[in-house]
Chains A and B, each alone.
Chain A
Amino acid sequence: MIKFQNVTKTYNKTVRALDDVSFNVKGGEIVGFIGPNGSGKTTTMKLLTGIIKPDQGKIVVNGFNIKEDPIKAKQSIGYIADSPDMFLRLKGTEFLQLIGDIYRVPTEERKERIETLAEKFGLTDALTSPMMSYSHGMRQKMMVIAALLHKPPVWILDEPMIGLDPKSAFELKQLMRDHTKDGNAVFFSTHVLEVAEKLCDRVVIIKNGHILYNGTLDELEKQNKNQSLENIFLELTEK
C-alpha cells in the first residue's frame, strides 16, 4: 500500500536527508520506522504525505502516485504530525467537523466515528471546549481521532504515542492491529523499541538517510543472538 522507491531528498542543496531510500508497506502490515534523531524519519513522513517533494524517486500510496495524483493519495492517508498544537482556538467538535468535511465523511458515519473514537480516548466531555484548554495528551488524542475519522486505508503516524496516557496508548495500538486485520497498512515512527517489538510486523531502521535494516524483528534477533533489541539498535546505529 506504500511504495517508496529510490527516494532522495536534499535540503538547501547541501544536506542530504534521504539517499536513494526504498521500502514498501503491504496491506495488513504494521511497520515501525526507527532511527536516531536527525536520521530522516520525519523527512520520510513528510514525503509520504506530500508535505515536501522528493528530488528523485517515486512515492505511491494506496495505488496513487503522490506527485501525479496528490488529492487521491492524500485522501487515502490518515496522518498524525509530530506536533498536536493545531487550530487551538477551535473547539474539538469544530475541528472534527472541519476534518470531516475536508475528507468528505458522510454525516451519519461521521457522528458514529466521532462518538466511538471520543469514547475510546476519553474525550467525549472535552469536545465542546476550545482545544487551547486541552493538555498535550488530549491534543494528541484529538489528532489521533482526526486522523482516523475518514477511515483511511493507510495510516502514517509520526511518534503517535507521545503524550498519550497508558490507556489511550493501548487503545491506539489495538486500533492499529484492528486496522491491519482488514487489509490496511500502518506505518509509524517511534523511539520506543518496546512498542516496535510488541506491535510491528516489520521494522525499517534508518540512519543518516540510509536504510540500515528492513525486516522482521525476529530475523534481526536471530542474526544477533543473545542480544537485546536495544543493544542491536545501538550497535546498528552507532556504527
Chain B
Amino acid sequence: MKMYLRLVSALIQGVEPSDKEKKRNKIFYIVMSIIAGFGIMLPMTFFVGVIIYSLTGSLVTFGTAQNGVELFLHLISAFSFIFGLNVIFSVFYFSGDIENLLPLPLKPYQIIGSKFTAALISESVMEVLVIIAALAGYIIGAGKPIWSWLVAVIGTITLPIIPLVYCGILCLVVMYFTRFVKNKDTVNKITGIFTFAVIIGIVFLISRSGFDTNELIKAMSQTDNGVLAVMNIIFPHVPFLINSMDAASLWQMIVYLAVNVAAITVFMLLAQLLYFPSVIGIGQGSSKSRKNSSHIIEKMRMHRPSITYLKKEFDILFRTPAYFTNCVMINLIWPAFFYLIVVMQGRTNFLESFIYGIHSGNEETVLLFMLGISAASVLVTAVNCIASSALTREGKHFAFIKYIPLPYIAQINVKALVSIIISGTGMLIYVIAACIWLNTGIKFILFSCMLSLFSVTFATYFGIYMDSVNPKLIWDDELNALRGNYNIFFNMAMAIVIEAVICAGSYLLFKFTDVGSITIIMMLFVLIMILNAVSYLLCHYKATKNIENMLI
C-alpha cells in the first residue's frame, strides 16, 4: 500500500508543474488562480447547481425528481469516458515513465493501478466540482435529508471511476490486439480520431432523431424513461447512487460501491493479463526502415528560416498524437456540440426568431450574432491551446529557441501563425457556413470573417504571452505538456473573462443607451483591433523579455 501511494504521488507530481516552475512567478499564479476561480469555476458550479435545482423542482410534481440529476450524472460519466480515453492511452502506453517503471519489480496491476489512480485524480478536479454542484442542486431541490449529503460526498469522489475503468479496459484490449503494429503513434492517433468520430456520430444521430428539449423534459417526467433505461445499462452505478440518496438506503450505497469494486477488479485482472505483453518493447515500435537519403538531400532547397520553422511547427503538431488530438482535432468537436445545442433548441424557439431577426436585419439579433462570432473565435483559440502551449511544447529543448540566430519575435510570429492558420481556418469555415445557412449577404459574410480572424489573432498573441510568463517546460511526454498546465487553464479563464466583459458591455450599451447596433459592432471591431495591437506589443516587448530572462 505504501509503495502504491508513493507511486501515485510520484506520478501526479509528473503531471503538475515542478516546484521550480510554480515558484518562478508566484504572484502570477495567485492572480490567475483568483481570476480562474471567480471567472470560470465558481460561475460554472453555481450554474450547474441552479439548473439541476430548477429541473428537480419541476420534476418533483411528477414524482420523478431524480430523473434530472440521473441523466446529468450519466452525461458527466459519458464525458469522462470520451475525454479520458486519450489520457488513459497516453498514460498507460506512451508516457516517458514507462521505461523507468518496467525494470522495477512491480506487477502489471500495480503499475496500472497507480497510473490509473494518478490519472483519475488529475482528471477529476473540475469534474468533482460539477458533480457536487449537481448533487447539491438535487438534494436542495428535492428536500433530501442529511444522509444524502454523505452519499453525495462519496458519489462525488467515486463517480468518475467507472467511466475511466471503461477507458482503461478498452485501452488494454486495443493495445493488446494491436501489439504487432510497429507504429504505435498511428494506433494512438487512430484512437483519438475514433473518439471524435464517436462524438460527432452521437451528435449526428441525436440531430437526426428530431431531438427536442421539450420532448426531453416530457420524457424526464415519465417514470419509465427509455433514455435513462439505456444509460443505466451503460453506467449501472449511477441509479444505485441516486436511489441511495433518494431513499436514504444503506443497501443501495453498498451495491453502488460493490459495482465500483467489481469494475476495478475486472480491470486489474485484465491489466495483469494484457499489460506486459502489449507494453514491453513499445519504445522501439517506430519505423526502422532505412532508405537511401541521397535523393532527398538532392531535392533540398534553401528557404526563408520562417518557412521551414513554420513547417517544423506543423510537423510536430500533426505528428504528435497528443497535440494532434488536443490541439488540432479539438477544433472539430466544439462546432459539433454547438450544433447539438442548436438542434436541441428545436426550430420553434429562440433559433426561429434568431433566423428571422438576421433576415429582417433586426439590430439586436445582428449584434448578438457578431458578439457570438467574436466570443467563439477567442474561445476556440484558447481551448485548442496551440498558442497558449506554443513555448511549453518546446519542453526540455527550449534552449533551441535561445541559441539559434533568429530573433525571438520572429519565432513568436511563426508560432502565432500556426495558431492563426489552424484556429482561423476552422472558425472561417464555421462562420461562412453559418452565414450561408442564415442566408446573409456577401458584405455580412466578409465582415463576419474579418471579425472572426482578428479575434483569433488577438487570442493567439495573448495566449503566447500568457505561456511566456511561465511555460511548463519539464514534462516527460507530450500529453503532460498540456495536462496539468495551468497556463492553458489561466489563458482560457482570461479569454472567458475578457469576452464576457466585451459581450456584456456591448449588449448593455445597446439595451440601455441610444447607440445603434451598427455603431456598437464598429466599436467592437475597433476594440478587437486595439486588443490585437496590445497583445502583439505584449509579445514584442514582454514575451521576448520573458524568453530572454528564462532560466533553463
Binding site for B on A (CB under 8 A): 11-12, 46, 49-53, 70-72, 74-75, 77, 79, 81, 83, 85-87, 89-90, 92-94, 97-98, 100-107, 110-111, 114-115, 118, 124-130, 132-133
B15, chain A: closest CB distance, angstroms: 20
Partner of B293, one of A72, A90, A92, A104: A92
User: B289 touching A74 by the CB < 8 A rule?
Assistant: no
Of A50, A72, A93, A101, the contact of B403 (CB 8 Å cutoff) = A50
Q: Which residues of A contact B290 (CB under 8 A)?
A: 125-126, 128-129
- CB <8 Å contact, B396 and A118: no
Q: A85-B396, A86-B400 known; A129 and B302 CB under 8 Å?
A: no
Contact in complex: A81, B302 (CB < 8 Å): no
B300 touching A110 by the CB < 8 A rule?
yes
Closest Cβ of chain B to A114, distance in Å, is 5
**B292 and A81 contacting across the interface, CB-CB below 8 Å:** no
The CA of A101 and the CA of B305, in the complex, are separated in Å by 5
Which of B298, B300, B316, B405 is A102 in contact with, Cβ under 8 Å? B405
Given contacts A51-B402, A75-B405, A81-B399, whether A98 and B312 have CB atoms under 8 Å apart is: yes
CB pair A107 B403 closer than 8 Å: no
> Is the pair A124, B293 in contact by a Cβ cutoff of 8 Å?
yes
**A102 with B404: CB separation less than 8 A:** yes
Q: How many whole Å from B12's CB to the nearest CB in chain A?
A: 24
Q: Which residues of B contact A98 (CB under 8 A)?
A: 308-309, 311-312
Known contacts A128-B291, A129-B290: A111-B407 contact under CB 8 Å: no
A129→B396 CA distance, assembly (Å): 22
In the bound complex, residues from chain B placing their C-beta under 8 Å from that of A133 are 286-288
**Whole-angstrom distance between the alpha carbons of A86 and B399 in the complex?**
10
Q: Which residues of B contact A (CB under 8 A)?
A: 286-294, 296-298, 300-305, 307-309, 311-312, 315-316, 319-320, 396-397, 399-400, 402-407, 548-549, 551-552
Chain A residue nearest to B285 in the complex (CB): A133
Q: Which of B298, B316, B405 contacts A71 (CB 8 A)?
A: B405
CA distance A93 to B552 in the complex (A): 28
Taking CB atoms, residues of chain B closer than 8 Å to A107 are: 300-302
Task: State in angstroms the CA–CA spacing of A133 and B289 once bound together.
Answer: 9
Separation of A156 and B151 alpha carbons in the complex (Å)? 64
CB distance B397 to A83 under 8 Å?
yes
Complex contact A101–B286 (CB within 8 A): no
From residue A45, how far is it (CB to closest CB) to chain B in Å?
10
B-chain residues with CB within 8 Å of residue A93 when the two chains form the complex: 293, 296-297, 300
What is the CA–CA distance of A80 and B216 in the complex, to the nearest angstrom? 63
The listed residue (B307, B402, B549, B551) touching A101 by CB distance below 8 A is: B307
Which residues from chain A contact B300 at a C-beta distance below 8 Å?
93, 97, 100, 107, 110-111, 114
A94 contacts B403, CB within 8 Å?
Answer: no
Residue of A nearest to B401 (CB): A51
Determine how close the nearest CB of chain B comes to the CB of A7; give it in whole angstroms: 16
- Let me know if B399 and A74 touch, CB within 8 A: no
Let me know if A103 and B397 touch, CB within 8 A: no
Specify which chain A residues have a CB less than 8 angstroms from the CB of B316 in the assembled complex. 87, 89-90
Known: A92-B293, A107-B300. A74 touches B404 (CB 8 A): yes
Known: A52-B552, A98-B308. 7 other contacts (CB 8 A): A81-B403, A97-B300, A101-B304, A101-B308, A103-B404, A127-B296, A129-B289
Whole-angstrom CA separation of A50 from B300 in the bound complex:
29
Which of chain A's residues have a CB closer than 8 A to the CB of B312?
87, 90, 94, 98
Distance A106 CA – B301 CA, assembled complex (angstroms) = 8
Question: Could you say which of A71, A89, A105 has the most chain B C-beta atoms within 10 Å of its C-beta?
Answer: A89
By a CB distance below 8 angstroms, the chain B residues around A92 are: 293
* C-alpha gap A111/B399 in the complex (Å): 26
- Chain A residue nearest to B283 in the complex (CB): A132
- Chain B residues contacting A127 (CB-CB under 8 Å) are 293, 296-297
Decide: A110 and B302 in contact? CB cutoff 8 A. Answer: yes
Between A94, A102, A126, the greatest number of chain B beta carbons within 10 A of the residue's beta carbon is seen for: A102
Expressed in whole angstroms, the minimum distance between the Cβ of B290 and any Cβ of chain A is: 4
Is there an interface contact between B293 and A105, defined as CB atoms closer than 8 Å?
Answer: no
Residues in chain B near residue A106, CB distance under 8 A: 302
Query: Quick one: closest A residue to B307, CB to CB?
Result: A101
Flag if B320 contacts A89 (CB, 8 Å). Answer: yes
**Is A129 a contact of B552 with CB atoms below 8 Å?**
no
A132 to chain B: which residues have CB within 8 Å? 286
Contacting pair A104 B291 (CB below 8 A): no
Partner of A130, one of B287, B307, B405: B287
B297: contacting residue among A11, A85, A90, A111, CB under 8 A: A111
Contact B397 A87 (CB under 8 A): yes
Chain B residues whose CB sits within 8 angstroms of the CB of A118 once the complex forms:
293
Interface centre among B287, B305, B399 (most CB of A within 10 A): B399
A71 touches B407 (CB 8 A): yes
Please, which residue of chain A has its CB at the minimum distance from the CB of B289? A129
- Select from chain B the residue with minimum beta-carbon distance to A89: B319
Q: Which of A46, A72, A101, A115 contacts B302 (CB 8 A)?
A: A101
**Which residues on the B side are within 8 Å of A51 (C-beta)?**
399, 402-403, 552
Tell me if B315 and A125 are in contact (CB < 8 A). no
Contact, CB under 8 Å: B397 / A81: yes
Question: Is A72 within 8 A of B405, CB to CB?
Answer: yes
Residue with the greatest number of chain A CB neighbours at <10 A, chosen from B298, B311, B312, B320? B312
A90 touching B296 in the complex, CB below 8 Å, given contacts A51-B402, A101-B304: no
Give every chain B residue within 8 A of A77 (Cβ-Cβ): 403
Q: Which residues of B contact A115 (CB under 8 A)?
A: 294, 297
Q: Taking each of A118, A125, A128, which has the highest tally of chain B beta carbons within 10 Å of its own beta carbon?
A: A128
Q: In the complex, are the beta carbons of B405 and A46 less than 8 A apart?
A: no
Interface pair A53/B549, CB less than 8 Å apart: yes
**Do the beta carbons of A125 and B293 come within 8 Å of each other?**
yes
CA–CA, A103 to B405, complex, Å? 7
A128 CA / B294 CA spacing, docked (Å)? 9
CA separation between A140 and B240, bound complex, in Å?
Answer: 58
Q: Is the CB of B397 within 8 A of A74?
A: no
How far, in angstroms, from A89 to B311 measured CA to CA in the complex?
12
A14 to chain B, nearest CB (A): 12
Q: Is the CB of A124 within 8 A of B405?
A: no
Q: List 10 A-B contacts (CB under 8 A).
A: A46-B552, A49-B402, A72-B405, A87-B316, A90-B315, A93-B296, A101-B305, A111-B297, A111-B300, A125-B290
Chain B residue with minimal CB distance to A156? B403
CB-CB under 8 A from A125, the residues of chain B are 290-293
Least Cβ–Cβ distance between A121 and chain B, in angstroms: 13
The answer for the CA separation of A50 and B311 in the assembled complex, in Å, is: 25
- How distant is the Cα of A46 from the Cα of B403 in the complex, in angstroms? 9
Given contacts A98-B312, A128-B293, contact A86 B397 (CB under 8 A): yes
The 7 A-B pairs at the shortest CB distance, nearest first, are namely A127-B293, A101-B308, A74-B405, A125-B290, A75-B405, A49-B403, A89-B319
